[in-house]
Structure 1
């Protein structure tokens, strides 16, 4: 991945931050994005303002944000090799309490954001003759939990899982690989945002009896970015969350 150009959305905190950090360390050129410019700039400076990275703040639910990310990648680094659609929002809310504004939020940010940014990146990948798109889903699409009602965000994430397979089918002939990473419970600021004070209390959801770390998702993203023969797959990185239960 040295000198390859990687666009990472939602790169200011949590999983996206860990992904951006790993690719920067591996010598990739990284275009970092977040809707929060203050956090994004802080993270970039925390990385010691690396020469092989730039950042652009913008809401991915706006089509022009993806286009600007692509244009910035081309202007500074002259290629678009990998797109990692990490940016998203997620919070539990009982089904009967969900309002239209909730659905609009999740579908706009999670699905439309992934959709629009991918639309911006793929034409350049076609020109280059190869590319890799990595979407971030969730194991909860395939493993629902009664105590964590989240139909609004889950329907948007489920759509991303389906989008992954269809894009893999449409663009396989162009040597563009499209995959999804479905994380289990990962230690990140998201846990606090949705009211989980002790993320480690959820360790029992995983057969390994621990929650995941953000760098473990980053490692999976790096694998998929470098793989030449994996496409259309949803890779669970979840410590056995979907494989079974410990009683």
Structure 2
């Protein structure tokens, strides 16, 4: 009960699962969310079923899910110090090929999920007088890349970047820091191994990043009390411009 608690959305795989492990390893309680309880149970098993990890299933596009996650976190651990808005997906394709269903799906997970979770987190953190909100965006929203057509993800993740700055200002009187990590290409199961050479060449670093490198950045922002309104690119230089 004396530990800090982090809520991580999209915690059943990929970056989210890596974040859950990193926060647990750094002494936090972790409340992970995902659409499926089966995915969360598998995540808990891979983490060693620690007593200070609980999973809450639900769709982040539903406002009630955020309320359920925070209610479970507060009931189990007493308070929430950190929210990581990680749930999301990337859908690159030529602009004219996006369908109305694509747009709705991107808005639901990548935008509504951030808004609803942040609203509940902000209300709780205002009451307790402190907190950290860390969003996960995308480097391509800072610097679009002709090799990766993704106008709709850029539109939505770019909005998250701007909301970060606005919300940082609004919540600063309450000692709540709001920041964003913008990953480049990260080594997760979503990428086909056969595409590795192509992906390696998307950044000046000449390689993809690791989940651990994203976790290091998120952990820093989760503890940084004099850093707010920042969009931190962790992308091997991908967003620095044309190279």
- Counterpart in the other structure of 2:124: 124
- Counterpart in the other structure of 1:204: 201
Question: Which runs of 5 or more residues in structure 1 are unaligned?
Answer: none
Contact 2:144–2:154 at 8 Å: present in 1 too? no
- 1:229 and 2:226 equivalent? yes
Number of residues of Structure 1 aligned to a counterpart in Structure 2? 242
Q: Distance in 2 between matches of 1:183 and 1:199?
A: 17
Contact 2:141–2:153 at 8 Å: present in 1 too? no
Q: Distance in 1 between matches of 2:121 and 2:234?
A: 25
Contact 1:27–1:52 at 8 Å: present in 2 too? no
List per-residue Cα deviations over 1:118-175 (Å, max 9, x = no partner): 1111111011110000000011012112221111222111111111111101000001
- 1:150 and 2:147 equivalent? no
1:198 CA displacement: 2.7
Q: Distance in 1 between matches of 2:198 and 2:166?
A: 36
Q: Distance in 2 between matches of 1:56 and 1:200?
A: 37
Question: Which runs of 5 or more residues in structure 2 are unaligned?
Answer: none
- Could you state the TM-score of these two structures normalised by the residue count of structure 1? 0.94
Contact 2:107–2:156 at 8 Å: present in 1 too? yes
- Counterpart in the other structure of 1:165: 165
- Could you state the TM-score of these two structures normalised by the residue count of structure 2? 0.96
Q: Distance in 2 between matches of 1:245 and 1:41?
A: 43
Q: Distance in 2 between matches of 1:49 and 1:214?
A: 20
Contact 2:143–2:241 at 8 Å: present in 1 too? no
Contact 1:200–1:211 at 8 Å: present in 2 too? no
- Counterpart in the other structure of 1:37: 37
SS of match in other structure, 1:179: strand
Q: Distance in 1 between matches of 2:134 and 2:190?
A: 20
Q: Distance in 2 between matches of 1:238 and 1:63?
A: 31
SS of match in other structure, 2:90: coil
1:245 CA displacement: 5.2
- Counterpart in the other structure of 1:66: 66
